[in-house]
């Protein structure tokens, strides 16, 4: 048939598009799993490129793979890593739970491309997949992808947002405003102090993410099918992990127990727990920002955020906190992903977990979305945040909770009566306190000094 070539595998012959580098097993999966549109994440394919080059390196160093085939496989992997082979990885997430078909997709593409550099035959199983099984390569690819996503993409975005908050914290250290608890007025706080709470939340999230990285740097590669390392030569596991470290600059090591590495996904669960914590804190921060910027006249209005685009198709001049809304939607998605990851990780039956593609998809989506939304939130909202000093002052001096400063002078019950009268009569705390005979005007002014209450 024109436009096709014939490939074969252990089940027989298959027609494959002539302009595609994949082989028979990829084609079978492509035809058999037309489920959804979610492709295997690019981060996983990239990690497989690192993994296959590292495995070839280890096999070559151990004398298992000849120099010509090693050079060709390494060159094909380099093209994969340079995105020159994009378009040759068509498989969806919803496939075999071991990820075997995506492992074979990479094996076939690398073998086909490497064969164009080599005078010798390069077989996807015998050479590209040498000393490996899908059961140890896919969890290894997941860990590599997770580490690179967190280290190279998410943490830098988190650091940039944290740095912006630190700048705003320092710039607004002198802005005294009303605190709020239970969505009700509370004692004074500075805007800088409020922002410091946001900043410290992100710093704690970073610490938790860093604590998760060592577990993710532990690689299953070398366990082969069930953890025994069958068909992998002595030293392969250690050599492959060393080669992955050399290629990435990250401290990857071979997992000490391959039976655990193949069936348990607890490192991903733990790491995604830190992503969930980050999502929860970002939800809180974004909500605080949009509450404090609410208005501009009928809300709290203590801060002003950048106006990036019209907010309404019917109300002229309306501006909405759209960046905050994007952050909160991402947070909701991450929280949902965390539930899916927990369920998927619990399904490690006997020697293998067979929910790995969805684990990888959800984890990497969370990392990607959080990194992107933090960058967008930082650039388009937080970096342009300014204090409405006059509104802060107005709200502060209108707050009934300044009465808390009277406790040491007139006691809790008299202070409560002062606050209740001020609210009931819509008068100032000072007027209420004086009317009740608890203090003179001069005594009240000496006791209630908001700037000294922070």
Is 102 one of the annotated active-site residues of the chain?
no
Of 143, 182, 272, 399, which is the active-site residue? Answer: 182
Residues 6+ apart with CB under 8 A from 131: 55, 58, 59, 64, 222, 224, 231, 232, 233, 236, 240
What SS3 state is found at 389? helix
Q: Is 182 a catalytic residue?
A: yes
Cα angle 82, 85, 91; round to 5: 125
- How many Cα neighbours within 13 Å face the side chain of 361? 19
DSSP class of 39: B
According to DSSP, residue 174 is labeled T
Given 312, 376, 383, 419, the catalytic residue: 312
Burial (CB count within 10 angstroms: exposed 0-12, middle 13-18, buried 19+), residue 135: buried
* Number of other residues whose CB lies within 10 A of the CB of residue 198: 22
Q: What are phi and psi of 272, to 5 degrees?
A: -70, -25
Q: Is 363 in contact with 268 (CB distance < 8 Å)?
A: yes
CB 327 within 8 A of CB 70: no
Q: Which of 121, 130, 101 has the alpha carbon at shortest distance from 25?
A: 101
Residues designated catalytic: 182, 312
């Amino acid at each position: 048939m024109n436009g096709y070539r014939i490939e074969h595998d252990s089940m027989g012959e298959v027609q494959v598009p002539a302009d595609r580098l994949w082989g028979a097993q990829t084609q079978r999966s492509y035809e058999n799993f037309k489920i959804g549109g979610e492709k295997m994440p690019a981060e996983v394919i990239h990690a497989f490129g690192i993994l296959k080059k590292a495995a070839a390196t280890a096999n070559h160093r151990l004398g298992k793979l000849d120099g010509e085939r090693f050079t060709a496989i390494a060159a094909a992997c380099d093209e994969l890593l340079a995105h020159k082979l994009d378009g040759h990885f068509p498989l969806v997430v919803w496939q075999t739970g071991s990820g075997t078909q995506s492992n074979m997709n990479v094996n076939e593409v690398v073998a086909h491309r490497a064969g164009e550099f080599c005078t010798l035959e390069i077989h996807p199983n015998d050479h590209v997949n040498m000393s490996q099984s899908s059961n140890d390569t896919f969890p290894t690819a997941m860990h590599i992808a997770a580490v690179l996503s967190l280290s190279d993409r998410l943490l830098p975005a988190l650091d940039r947002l944290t740095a912006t908050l630190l700048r705003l914290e320092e710039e607004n250290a002198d802005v005294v405003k009303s605190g709020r608890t239970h969505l009700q007025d509370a004692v004074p706080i500075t805007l800088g102090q409020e922002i410091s709470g946001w900043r410290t939340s992100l710093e704690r999230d970073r610490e938790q993410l860093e604590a998760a990285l060592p577990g993710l740097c532990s690689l299953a590669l070398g366990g082969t099918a069930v953890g025994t390392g069958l068909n992998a030569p002595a030293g392969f596991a250690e050599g492959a992990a060393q080669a992955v470290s050399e290629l990435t600059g990250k401290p990857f090591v071979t997992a000490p127990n391959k039976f655990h590495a193949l069936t348990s996904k607890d490192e991903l669960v733990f790491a995604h727990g830190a992503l969930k914590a980050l999502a929860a804190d970002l939800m809180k921060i974004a909500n605080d920002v949009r509450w404090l910027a609410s208005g501009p006249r009928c809300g709290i209005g203590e801060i002003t955020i950048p106006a990036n685009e019209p907010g309404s198709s019917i109300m002229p001049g309306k501006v909405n906190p759209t960046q905050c809304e994007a952050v909160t939607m991402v947070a909701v998605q991450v929280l949902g992903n965390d539930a899916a990851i927990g369920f998927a990780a619990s399904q490690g039956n006997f020697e293998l977990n067979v929910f790995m593609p969805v684990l990888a998809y959800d984890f990497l989506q969370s990392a990607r979305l959080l990194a992107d939304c933090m960058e967008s939130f930082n650039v388009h909202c937080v970096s342009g945040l300014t204090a409405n000093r006059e509104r802060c002052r107005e709200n502060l001096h209108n707050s009934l909770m300044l009465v808390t400063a009277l406790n040491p002078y007139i006691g809790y019950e008299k202070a409560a009566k002062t606050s209740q009268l001020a609210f009931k009569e819509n008068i100032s705390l000072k007027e209420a306190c004086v009317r009740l005979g608890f203090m003179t005007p001069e005594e009240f002014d000496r006791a209630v000094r908001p700037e000294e209450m922070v």
